[in-house]
Structures are given as C-alpha cells and as structure tokens.
Amino acid sequence: MGRKKKEKNKNKLKILGGRVLFFLILVVIFVIASFFIIKLVNKPAKEFVVEKDTVSFEETADGVFVREETVVVGKNYENGMVQIVSDNQKVAKDEQIFRYYSNGEEDILNKISDLKQRINQSIEDTGIYLYSSDITSLESSIDSTINKLYKQNDISKIDENMKLLEEYMDKKTEIMGNLSSDDSEIKSLTNEKNMLEQQLIAGSEIMTAPKAGVVSYRVDGYEEMFKVENDDFSYVTEDLLKQVNLKDDSLILTNTERGKIVDNFRAYLAVEMSSEKALAAMPGEKVQLRLSSTDVVDATIKQVNPVGQNKVIIIFAIKDKITDYLMYRKIQVDIIWWEYKGLKVSNSALVEEGNNTYVYRNKLGTEEKILVKVLRQNDSFSIVDNYTNDELLEMGYSEDSLKNRSQIKLYDRIVIKDK
C-alpha cells in the first residue's frame, strides 16, 4: 500500500509541475505579446541619415532671350532663298551667307542642264578629242573620284563625291568648248551655256554678313523689340515681355525670306520675378541658370528693373551655350541663387532653442543632443557643420565643457522630432 501511495504522490507532483510550467510559459508569452503591442502603439522615432550632399536655393520662371541680332534681308526676298552658309555657322564680316533665286531661275537651270548634255553628245559624235594638261589632270581626278564612289558606303561621302564628280565633268566640258574652233557646234553650245550662267548670276541677289557672328535663319520678328543697345536694358518692361506671345520652349521656325547675324559671345535673359531673393538682387551678383535638364551656365545679374513694389525684371548676362539656344526666344529657366555642399540634414531634424540649433543623434538607442552650425538652408534641407572651439569659447562656453563634446558626423542617424 505504501508503495502505491508514493507513486500516486509522484504523479501528482508531475501534474503540478506541468501546470506550473504551462503557467510560466503563458506569462512569458503575455509579456512578449505586451512588448510588441506597446511597440506597435508607440510609433518608432523617424530618423534621417547625415550625408555629404549639395543643397541649393532655386526658383523657376519664364525667361526671354535678348541678343544682339542683325536681320539681313534683300529686295528679292519674295523669290525664296538658297543658304550658302548653314544655320549656326560662324562667318566673317562681308562673307556671303545666302542668296535669293533670280526670276525664271528654274527655267534657266533646265536650259543649262540641257546644253551640258548636248555639248557632251556633240563631243562624242564628232570624235574630236582635244588634249591639254588641264584636261589630263581633270580626267585623273574623275577616275579617282569614280573609284572612291565604288568603295564608299557612307551616304554623306557618296553625295560629296558625286558633287565633286559633277564639278570635274563641268570643268572638262568648259575647257573642251573653249579649245574648239569658233565655228564648231561645241563652241556655239558652250557660249550659249556661258551666257545663261551669266544671266543667272546677274539676276541672283547675294546677301553678305554686315558683321562677324553666327548665321541664323530662325527669324521671329522680335529682333527689333529686344536689342542690345549700349548695355542699357531699361526699355525691357512688363508690358514688353507680355507682347512675347509664345509658349515656353517653343521653336522658332526657319525663315525662307531672311536671315540674321547673332553675336555669339554674349546673350541675355530677361526674367520677371517677385520672390524675396529676387527683390533683393543686385547688379554684379553671380548666379547659375539651368537652361535645360543638362545645361547649367554661369550668369551675372546685369540690370534690375523695378516693376512696382513687389516685382522686378532681372537681366541675366550669359556667355556659354549661346548658339545652342538660338532656336528659342522664350524658355522656362531655373535660377540657382546659391549652391552649397557639406553635411546635409532634413530641416525637420533641427531643434531651435534660443539662438542655438541642435540635432538629436540616435546612438545605440540613446538620444544624444548635439549643437550644430547651420551654414545654408532652403525650404527642405540644411547644410550644417560643427562649431570650432574658438567659436564656442566666444559664445560663452567654458574650456572644460568642450572636452569630449559631441559632434555631428557623416552617416549619423539623426532623430526627427515631432514639432
């Protein structure tokens, strides 16, 4: 009986121990669950990682180009034009840039082409072959050019060689015509061709560059409205800018009646603005202009024209990328007032206390308060740095307080405080 009683007590202890263990497990689960529930209820602190980056202050506005542009137009502008110099090419003063078609030019060109064929046919029919050193040289050039054509795959090179071949053939025909006897058909046809060519030249109006610069055929009619006169832009008013009835970044179409010579060393952008920074702008101030997603150029404020109490028209002078934007009169431009590189933090992480600014660094779960110096600040971010010991001593800190002081560093995790 005693033995059975002992075994019974043992079983009771096992059952009790199991119940106690089960209870302890429940307690542990409850504690862990409570911890996670608290973590969910209490939102974790937001953090910002300190990086070395650039912070800038910029504004976007509409800009109108003001250039030194001289329009070139002749008497025969209604006849249409032939470009001698391509768009955006530099020319010297008095250099030929384009010409107007002469009256009946197409008919004359057809007659000249027909005469060339008749001259060549007459040379073949008569069997006359006139030798000269010039013809020998031309025939060598013709053969060489033909060989190049057979070996060439580049379309632009093929066109170039075809033009050369045509020039050599014309020159050969010209020489053979001049060497023929005065009463020959070849001579007669050659004289007729020469007369038509002279008629073509005489009736053609050739336009030359009035000054050195870049040729542009994108003439929009605003050249006379926006001029560079003695570096004075007082004439650029709000009403004048409103007359530029163009969409931003719309292309100026190529003109078929006139061209212009543009100063490729300087250009200006007239921008109407009303921001606090713009109202405080001064001539001589250096800024940057973003003309496109890839083009940022240095600029200088040339002139500031007040427009009432709360607006100004700023004339920005630029020296780079001028010819790249000759196809535009009005563009959307970003004015970059300043750009600063250093330790970048979110403005939300800055805490103002009196005249001082602090950040809170998360160091192994503990928040550490750090005094920082704000160097530059835009609407979202700031560039900050640590004060030097000399600066802190001037601010009233003791030498003992400077020992082992906390400083902000790259990749610090800065806590963003709810404000």
CATH of the domain at 404: 2.40.420.20
In a domain, 45, yes or no: no
**195 within domain boundaries:** yes
Q: Is 70 exposed, middle or buried (0-12, 13-18, 19+ CB in 10 A)?
A: middle
Q: Which of 18-27, 34-43, 48-57, 222-231 comes out lowest in average pLDDT?
A: 34-43
Please spell the DSSP secondary structure of 22-47, one letter per residue.
HHHHHHHHHHHHHHHHHHHHSPPPEE
Residues 298 and 264 in one domain: yes
Last residue of a domain, one of 339, 362, 377: 339
Q: What is the pLDDT of residues 374-389, one digit of tens each?
A: 999 999 999 999 999 9
Does the pLDDT value for residue 43 go beyond 50? no
Same domain, yes or no, for 252 and 317? yes
Lowest mean pLDDT among 2-16, 221-235, 266-280: 2-16
Residue 149 pLDDT > 50, yes or no? no
Classify residue 254: in a domain, yes or no: yes
Residue 63's pLDDT is 96
Q: Rounded to whole angstroms, what are the CA distances from 402 to 156, 360, 383, 392, 394?
A: 73, 18, 23, 8, 12
In a domain, 271, yes or no: yes
Percentage with pLDDT > 90 across the chain: 50
Same domain, 152 and 264: no
In this prediction, residue 371 carries a pLDDT of 94
Q: Which residues of 309-322 are buried (b: 16+ CB within 10 A; e: fewer)?
A: eeebbbbbbbeeeb
Instruction: Determine the Cα–Cα distance for residues 21 and 256; give it in Å rounded to an integer.
Output: 98
In a shared domain, residues 90 and 64: no
Q: Is residue 274 a part of any domain in this protein?
A: yes
Confidence of residue 76 (pLDDT cuts 50, 70, 90): confident
277: left (phi over 0), alpha (psi -120 to 50) or beta: alpha
Residues 330 and 397 in one domain: no
Q: Report pLDDT for 222.
A: 96
Closest Cα to residue 350, out of 322, 371, 368? 371
Residue 146 is assigned to a structural domain of this protein: yes
Residues 237 and 334 in one domain: yes
Alpha carbon distance 389, 385 (integer Å): 13
Per-residue pLDDT at 150 exceeds 50: no
Residues 315 and 385 in one domain: no
Final residue belonging to a domain, choices 186, 208, 230: 208
Q: How confident is the model at residue 41 (pLDDT cuts 50, 70, 90)?
A: very low
Instruction: Give Cα 287 to chain centroid, integer Å.
Output: 16
Check whether 417 has a pLDDT greater than 80.
Answer: no
Residues 99, 159, single domain; the answer is yes
Calpha distance 373→92 (Å, rounded): 56
Asked if residue 15 belongs to a domain, the reply is: yes
Q: Which long-range contacts (CB under 8 A, 24 or more apart) does 368-375 make?
A: 368/406, 369/406, 370/406, 370/407, 370/408, 372/345, 372/408, 374/350, 375/340, 375/342
Of 195-199, 257-261, 387-391, the poorest mean pLDDT is in 195-199
pLDDT exceeds cutoff 90 at 26: no
pLDDT top residue among 37 and 22? 22
Contact status, residue 181 vs residue 154, Cβ threshold 8 Å = no
User: How far does CA 142 lie from the centroid of its chain?
Assistant: 45
Q: Which of 2-11, 121-130, 137-146, 363-372 has the highest mean pLDDT?
A: 363-372
Neighbouring C-beta atoms of residue 48, cutoff 10 Å? 19
Q: Are residues 100 and 190 in the same domain?
A: yes
Residue 40 domain-assigned (yes or no): no
Per-residue confidence (pLDDT) for residue 78, from 0 to 100: 85
pLDDT of 203 reads: 64
Whether 65 and 168 map to the same domain: the answer is: no
Last residue of a domain, one of 149, 173, 208: 208
pLDDT at residue 235 greater than cutoff 70 = yes
The C-alpha atoms of residue 403 and residue 81 are separated, in whole angstroms, by: 81
Question: How many structural domains does the chain have?
Answer: 4
- Cα angle 270-272-274, degrees, rounded to a multiple of 5: 150
- By residue range, what is the domain housing residue 381? 343-416
| pLDDT reading at 349 higher than 60 | yes
- Residue 252 confidence (pLDDT): 94
- At 200, list the tokens: 């073509």
CB 59 within 8 A of CB 277: yes
Query: pTM for this one?
Result: 0.67
Per-residue pLDDT at 186:
72
Distance CA 399, CA 304 (A): 49
Asked if 318 and 372 sit in the same domain, the reply is: no
**For residue 2, pLDDT beyond 60:** no
> Average pLDDT, whole number, for the chain?
82
What strands, in cross-sheet order, belong to the sheet with 96-100? 81-83, 96-100, 205-208
Q: For residue 416, what pLDDT is reported? A: 87
CATH of the domain at 317: 2.40.30.170
388 and 305 housed in the same domain: no
